Amino acid sequence: MKYSEISLETRQALISASLDPEHTVDLVTRAFQEDLAGGEDVTSVATIPVDHKSMAEYRVRTNGVIAGIEVAKVCLELVGVTDFNSSVRCAHNVEAGTVVLSARGNTRALLLAERTSLNFLGHLSGIATLTRRWVDEVKDFNTAIRDTRKTTPGMRVLEKYAVRMGGGTNHRMSLSESALIKDNHVEAVGGVSKAFERVRTLYPQIEIEVEVDSLDQLKELLLHKPDLVLLDNMSIDECRQAVALVDGRCKLEASGGLSLENAKAYAQTGVDFLAVGALTHSAPVLDIGLDLKAEI
User: What are the residue numbers of the active site?
Assistant: 115, 150, 182, 211, 232
Give dist(CA 20, CA 82) in Å, integer.
20
Please classify residue 188 by burial: count the beta carbons closer than 10 Å to its beta carbon, then call 0-12 exposed, 13-18 middle and 19+ buried: exposed
Asked if 230 contacts 258 with a C-beta cutoff of 8 angstroms, the reply is: no
208-212, strands of its sheet edge to edge:
144-146, 273-275, 251-255, 228-232, 208-212, 179-181
Give dist(CA 88, CA 80) in Å, integer.
22
Give dist(CA 12, CA 17) in Å, integer.
9
SS3 of residue 53 by DSSP? strand
- ∠ CA 110-294-102, rounded to 5°: 50
Please classify residue 49 by burial: count the beta carbons closer than 10 Å to its beta carbon, then call 0-12 exposed, 13-18 middle and 19+ buried: exposed
Q: Return the DSSP state at 30.
A: H
